[in-house]
């Protein structure tokens, strides 16, 4: 009985997954279709004569944009962890006075629409000359991840065994030593989770890129795809090839770190 019952569920699960992932498959399919076949009716369900012309266009035109996105996303990861990890430590383990208020502020911060933030950043950046710079985008994009990161670090670090920290304190380690040699190494999983999300969010940001960086020499990949759609509506195979390439980080990270993804969504959800 136990062997038989799950089988139809597995099949149903496969069907549902296939349905859910159909747009992803379709993207892949279109990216390999020849330009002449794009408008055939009905559309080809799979590339009968696959072509790499779309991908050739990607490597011709999109490499700088991919590089820009990589730099921005990595910068965001670094900035987010550096700001959020000590704060999580202070709230979770150092009994920071006003920690509750800080948590409330972080909750509210997550409610602010990116459009409003973008306008504020625009107004500030015009004066500071940060428009169209990689630095400006790193700073702006990090605001998507920082509140989430602090809440996640706080949640994780308050679960660390206090005895260990106390033992270290008795051995004469000061708070900084405890943070660097005990708390950070033990929080490795939450650092990975935070990094994963900060990377993906910065990588896929469109609003800040389209408002703060539209005339930059080096634009991130999302903006590049967007301008591609505007200029070349006929070349859907190239657009979809770019989209496939832009999705690679997500795919890779999902395979390597799927457990952290689930953990991160969950921790981010139970936040008040």
Partner 1 sequence: MSTPPTDAPVHPAAPAGREHTTVLPGGGSGGPGRPGGPDRPAAGQGPSTRAAAARARRRLSRSQLAAAGFAAPLVIYLIAFYAYPLMRSIDLSIHDYTVRAFVQGDAEFVGFSNYVDVITSSLFAQAMWNTAVFVLVSLLFQYTIGLALAVFFRSGFRLSAILRALFLVPWLLPLIVSGSAWAWMLNSDNGIVNSFLSIFGIGQVNWLTSPDTAMIGVLIANIWLGIPFNLVILYSGLQNIPEELYEAASLDGAGPWRQFVSITFPLLRPVSAITLLLGLVYTLKVVDIIWIMTSGGPANSTTTLAIWSYRQAFGTGQPDMSPAAAVGNLLIVIALICGFIYLRVQRRQEES
Enumerate residues 187-226 that contact partner 1 by CB under 8 A: 189-190, 193, 200, 203-204, 206-207, 210-211, 214, 221-222, 225-226
Please list every residue from 89 through 148 that binds partner 1, using CB under 8 A.
89-92, 94-100, 102-103, 105-124, 126-127, 139-140, 142-143, 146
Size of the residue set binding partner 1 (CB under 8 A): 122
Q: Give residue for tokens 């308050």.
A: 158
Query: Site for partner 1 (CB under 8 A): which residue of 47, 71, 86, 218?
Result: 86
Contact flag: residue 256 with partner 1 (CB under 8 A): no
Query: Looking at 6-14, 49-57, 58-66, 129-137, which segment touches partner 1 (CB under 8 A)?
Result: 6-14
Contact flag: residue 251 with partner 1 (CB under 8 A): yes
Contact flag: residue 154 with partner 1 (CB under 8 A): yes
Q: Min. distance of Cβ 51 from partner 1 in angstroms? A: 17
Query: Site for partner 1 (CB under 8 A): which residue of 78, 134, 169, 173?
Result: 169
Query: Looking at 35-43, 46-54, 58-66, 129-137, which segment touches partner 1 (CB under 8 A)?
Result: 35-43
Q: Which own/partner contact pairs does 19-26 have at CB distance under 8 Å and 24+ positions apart?
A: 24/247
Q: Phi/psi class of residue 63: alpha, beta or left (left: φ > 0; alpha: ψ in -120 to 50)?
A: alpha
Q: How many Å apart are CA 67 and CA 272, to the nearest integer?
A: 37
Residue 63 or 268 with smaller CB distance to partner 1? 268
Q: Give the tokens for residue 117.
A: 């933030």
Q: Min. distance of Cβ 261 from partner 1 in angstroms? A: 6
Q: Please state the φ and ψ torsions of residue 126, each to the nearest 5 degrees.
A: -55, -45
**CB–CB of 136/130 below 8 Å?**
yes
Residue 1 or 7 with smaller CB distance to partner 1? 7
Query: Site for partner 1 (CB under 8 A): which residue of 21, 52, 56, 180?
Result: 21
Give the helix ranges, DSSP H, for 21-133: 22-31, 53-61, 63-93, 99-111, 114-128
Please list every residue from 37 through 76 that binds partner 1, using CB under 8 A.
38-43
The helix/strand/coil state of 17 is: helix
Q: Min. distance of Cβ 165 from partner 1 in angstroms? A: 9
Q: How many Å apart are CA 27 and CA 6, to the nearest integer?
A: 31
> Which residues in the chain belong to E strands, given as ranges?
none
Q: How many Å apart are CA 209 and CA 205, to the nearest integer?
A: 7
Contact flag: residue 161 with partner 1 (CB under 8 A): no
> Distances in Å between the alpha carbon of 232 and those of 225, 226, 228?
10, 10, 6
Q: Min. distance of Cβ 64 from partner 1 in angstroms? A: 17
CA 87 and chain centroid, separation: 21
Residue 59 or 227 with smaller CB distance to partner 1? 227
């Amino acid at each position: 009985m136990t062997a038989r019952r799950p089988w139809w569920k597995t099949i149903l699960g496969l069907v549902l997954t296939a349905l859910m992932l159909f747009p992803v498959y379709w993207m892949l399919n279109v990216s390999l279709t020849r330009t002449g076949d794009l408008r055939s009716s009905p559309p080809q369900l799979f590339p009968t004569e696959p072509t790499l012309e779309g991908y050739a266009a990607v490597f011709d035109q999109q490499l700088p944009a991919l590089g820009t996105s990589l730099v921005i996303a990595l910068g965001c990861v670094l900035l987010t962890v550096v700001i959020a990890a000590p704060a999580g430590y202070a709230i979770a383990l150092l009994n920071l006075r006003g920690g509750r208020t800080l948590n409330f502020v972080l909750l509210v911060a997550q409610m602010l629409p990116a459009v409003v933030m973008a306008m504020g950043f625009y107004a500030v950046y015009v004066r500071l000359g940060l428009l169209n710079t990689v630095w400006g985008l790193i700073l702006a994009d990090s605001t998507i991840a920082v509140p989430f990161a602090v809440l996640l670090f706080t949640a994780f670090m308050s679960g660390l065994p206090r005895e260990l920290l106390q033992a270290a304190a008795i051995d004469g380690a000061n708070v900084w030593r405890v943070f660097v040699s005990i708390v950070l190494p033990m929080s490795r999983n939450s650092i990975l989770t935070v990094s994963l999300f900060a990377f993906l969010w910065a990588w896929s940001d469109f609003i800040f890129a389209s408002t703060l960086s539209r005339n930059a020499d080096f634009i991130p990949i999302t903006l590049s795809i967007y301008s591609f759609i505007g200029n070349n509506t006929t070349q859907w195979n190239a657009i979809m090839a770019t989209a496939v390439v832009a999705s690679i980080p997500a795919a890779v990270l999902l395979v390597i770190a799927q457990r952290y993804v689930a953990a991160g969504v969950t921790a981010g959800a139970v936040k008040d």
